Amino acid sequence: MCTTCGCATGEVKIDGAEVQHDDAHGHRHVHTHADGTTHAHGYKTGHTHEHAHSHDHAPRYAPSHSHAPGMDGRRMVQIEQDILAKNNAYAARNRKCLLNLGIFALNLVSSPGSGKTTLLCKTISMLGDVPVAVIEGDQQTSQDAERIRATGAPAIQINTGKGCHLDAYMVGHAMDKLDLVKDSLLLIENVGNLVCPAAFDLGEAHKVAILSVTEGADKPIKYPDMFRAASLMLLNKIDLLPYVDFDMDAAIAYSRRVNPGIRVICVSATSSEGMDEWLAYLRDGMAVAGTAKRQSPDPCNQQIAELEVPL
């Protein structure tokens, strides 16, 4: 269990069904821990190979150069890999799939209670005929996905269990389950958390940070990583401005301090104020995704070409 934020693994469910972890996935380790025999076999196999590899020792790294069996044959192994490399590889796969389908995907991040789901419901109903799909991330319950489905849009719920953020692997699975339509919009509502989701690329075009006026205006500098990672900040619930002590200018200035290039749109899902600008942003993004799809090589032709290489 993480001492900082309490995050942990396991218990990931997509629409109530457990995610089958393949060998490449990080959360597999938890299962491995319980299996003592597997580890014992692994050790034995490794020992038989140890001697052959002792020849690779770089002199400065070798603490012991003994080649005699049973002696300590420690050696150094260069890794030089990013800790998030696995997640980033899954994210790249998701991004490629989205590109091929011409889908504009956004990763919506905020603290709990900023009004993400209400804003999504309003957005879907105001977009009318535009095809939208939603991936909902929450620790538990499928209430948010049900709220989205009530608007008529397909939605899938990921329950992260104890996990505090969505990762690219979970989202890839959810994308497979959703029948994604070409040239559509995919909105991913991340777990309400202003810390952890910042570091995890899901394959989205942009992260959108949502800050509501019932929160503190200084959140962008309190949780800078998230506002740094986002390309757009939505200031939500602006219909409540007359009733709360929220300094809009300060909030915008703080967000620009951590991210000079961040775009800000002020909205209210309740009064619809500012929604036109947000919808225009979504339509522009969809147009860009459509252009990118047309400019990228046809995935079918590319696959045929790859298969023809050995022939």
Partner 1 sequence: MHEMSLAEGVLQLIEDAARQQEFSKVTTVWLEIGQLAGVEAEAMKFCFDAVTRGSLAEGAKLEIIATPGTAWCMNCSSTVVCCERFGACPSCGSYQMQVTGGDEMRVKELEVA
Query: What residue ranges bind partner 1 (CB under 8 A)?
Result: 1-5, 7-9, 26-27, 29, 32-34, 36, 39, 42-47, 49-50, 52-53, 61, 63, 72-87, 163-165, 167, 195-196, 198-200, 221, 224-225, 228, 257-258, 260
* Nearer to partner 1 (CB atom), residue 73 or residue 102: 73
CB of 73 to partner 1, least distance (A): 6
Strand partners, 265: 234
CB of 200 to partner 1, least distance (A): 8
* Nearer to partner 1 (CB atom), residue 48 or residue 301: 48
Strand partners, 13: 18, 159
Sheet holding 155-159, edge to edge: 17-18, 13-14, 155-159, 132-138, 185-189, 104-110, 206-212, 232-236, 263-266
CB of 210 to partner 1, least distance (A): 19
Report the alpha-carbon distance of residue 44 to residue 130 in Å, rounded: 58
Any idea of the CA torsion for 214, 3, 109, 173, to the nearest 10 degrees? -150
CB of 224 to partner 1, least distance (A): 4
Listed residue (231, 237, 226) closest to 194, CA to CA: 226
CB of 15 to partner 1, least distance (A): 23
* Nearer to partner 1 (CB atom), residue 5 or residue 150: 5
Query: φ, ψ for residue 210 (rounded to 5)?
Result: -110, 125
Q: Positive or negative CA dihedral for 142, 186, 226, 239?
A: negative
* Nearer to partner 1 (CB atom), residue 182 or residue 257: 257
CB of 3 to partner 1, least distance (A): 5
* Residues 6 or more apart whose Cβ sits within 8 Å of residue 84: 199, 200, 201
* Nearer to partner 1 (CB atom), residue 29 or residue 67: 29
Residue 150 token pair? 């009530």
* Nearer to partner 1 (CB atom), residue 85 or residue 300: 85
* Nearer to partner 1 (CB atom), residue 77 or residue 309: 77
Query: φ, ψ for residue 85 (rounded to 5)?
Result: -55, -40
CB of 70 to partner 1, least distance (A): 12
